[in-house]
Amino acid sequence: MRFLPYPRSVKPMSGPLSGYKVLDMSRVLAGPWAGQMLADLGASVIKIERPSVGDDTRSWGPPYLKDKAGDNCDDAAYFFCANRGKQSVTVDITQPEGQKIIYQLAGQCDVLIENYKVDGLKKYGLDYESISAINPKLVYCSITGFGQTGPYAKRPGYDFLIQGMGGLMSVTGAPDDEAGGPVKVGVAVTDLFTGLYAANAIQGALLERHQSGLGQYIDLALLDVQAAVLANQASNYLIGGDVPKRLGNAHPNIVPYQAFATADSHVILAVGNDGQFKRLCDALEKPEWVTDERYTINSARVEHRQQLCAAISLCLREKTSAAWLQAFQEAKVPCGPINSIDQVFSDPQILARNMVVKVADHRAGEIPLVANPIKYSRTPIVYTLAPPALGTSTDDVLENDLAYSESQIKALRDKSII
């Protein structure tokens, strides 16, 4: 497949996916998260957005990005979490001229990502069958709430709904005998997991293409992903036969492994084996627990969870979190604080790992972003493109990638196609 030159304003990426080209037709989080991952790994990613409106998350504020004068820009902070490394091209795909642009771009690309409803792009001739006829090497990834098949296929799917339907909320929150009930996770983890699965699936398909010479269709469903990432809780049910319950911050298979109140706040204890439990007993000055048959091994501690955790709670209320954390760290007992998000980004370990990067932006001067956690030894991730303002690469892509003339671009803009 032949690649045309990069637009004037964009420098070629470095990284393991350098040379690959992605058409990101997705919105909100799951699809854009996958597209951002591919961009971080070096792919050239063109984000298709609706003229004048753009990705839904551009308006999901406050807060909004502030310009150099301190005034709000049009884009909400939410948008910036999932769209760095991309070029924004505005296209009205409901119009034949807009569809032609997508055909032309898809003909040059290795990957297309979309998260429209089932058959949502078929009426525009932008479904896999239509696009693959133009480019049989294309890897086409569709992300929906429930997949392309099954009785729920036509339903809209959102992360919150899927956390409930997929069992996550049944194991998240306070136990039945305490107030509170089921709660969702504080970030849209089903969307994020789906984005990560999509990025993995796409790269697998690209690797397979080296053998077959062909692309393929990827059908990803949020509900499938949520079922998959139930992990040990799913195995506890499928193999053990017991339906997992909500345990608050406790672990279903390990004790003590939860948050405990101290004299001033809370700490987490994550005791993963019997040796660590012995060291915990030493730190708590409770050597008799080591030989107590209720607590000697983990399976016994799980069986007598309530008694043991109640006794630990009484101990921990006697000192501050700082005092306990120091004592546990000295005893080599896995432990930690419950940090607020501002504390996370001032944590010396996060700072040492360069988990905040600043990317140049023409509006704000620079934008702080959470870095990709992948650390390559030879092909480090390079952050060259901030999440784009709406449509900033439209002219460049049309002119340089598709060889449109200035008059053709003007005519499309006059008709609100771009």
Assign residue 283 the CATH number of its domain: 3.30.1540.10
The answer to the question of residue 251 being in a domain is: no
Residue 7 falls inside a structural domain:
no
Residue with more model confidence, 10 or 23:
23
- Residue 315 covered by a domain: yes
pLDDT digits (tens, 9 = 90+) for 145-185: 999 999 999 999 999 999 999 999 999 998 987 878 899 99
Is the domain of 194 the same as that of 319?
no
The pLDDT of residue 368 = 96
Tell whether 132 and 163 lie within a shared domain. yes
- Given a cut of 50, whether residue 261 has pLDDT beyond it is yes
Within a domain: 103? yes
Q: How confident is the model at residue 13 (pLDDT cuts 50, 70, 90)?
A: low
Is 26 in contact with 32 (CB distance < 8 Å)?
yes
Range of the domain at 394: 21-228+353-414
pLDDT of 131 strictly over 50: yes
Domain count across the chain: 2
Any domain includes 190: yes
Looking at the whole model, is its pTM more than 0.85? yes
Asked, for residue 207, whether it belongs to a domain, the answer is yes
Are residue 221 and residue 274 in the same domain, yes or no? no
CATH number of residue 368's parent domain: 3.40.50.10540
- Count other Cβ atoms within 10 Å, centred on residue 201: 17
For residue 5, is pLDDT > 50? no
- On whether both 79 and 190 belong to a single domain, the answer is yes
pLDDT at residue number 10: 45
Please indicate, yes or no, whether residues 212 and 296 belong to a single structural domain of this protein: no
Say what the pLDDT of residue 177 is.
79
Average pLDDT over residues 229-237: 96
Active centre residues (catalytic):
191
50 and 159 housed in the same domain: yes
The secondary structure of 85-112 as a DSSP string is TEEEEE--TTSHHHHHHHHHHHHH-SEE
- Shared domain check, 322 and 388: no
Per-residue confidence (pLDDT) for residue 4, from 0 to 100: 32
First to last CA, the chain: 26
**32 is a domain residue:** yes
- Check pLDDT > 50 for residue 7: no
pLDDT at position 1 is 29
| HSE-up of residue 366 (Cα within 13 Å, Cβ side) | 8
Q: Do 128 and 196 reside in the same domain of the chain?
A: yes
Same domain, 357 and 333: no
Q: Looking at 276, 307, 337, which one is the last position of a domain?
A: 337
Eight-state DSSP code of residue 148:
S
- Contact indicator for 305, 293 with CB cutoff of 8 Å: no
Residue 406 forms part of a structural domain = yes
The CB density around residue 280, as the number of other CB atoms within 10 Å, is 24
> Are residues 224 and 286 both part of a single domain?
no
Domain boundary at 337, 364, 398, which? 337
**Per-residue pLDDT tens for 268-324?**
999 999 999 999 999 999 999 999 999 999 999 999 999 999 999 999 999 999 999
Domain boundary among 337, 366, 399: 337
For residue 400, the model assigns a pLDDT of 96
The answer to whether residues 38 and 162 belong to one domain is yes
162 and 48: one domain?
A: yes
**Mean pLDDT taken over the chain:** 94
* pLDDT tens readout for residues 27-81: 999 999 999 999 999 999 999 999 999 999 999 999 999 999 999 999 999 999 9
Q: Are 246 and 170 in contact (CB under 8 A)?
A: yes
What is the C-alpha separation between 418 and 415, in angstroms, rounded?
Answer: 8
Q: Return the percent helix, strand and coil in the chain, to nearest 5.
A: 40, 15, 45
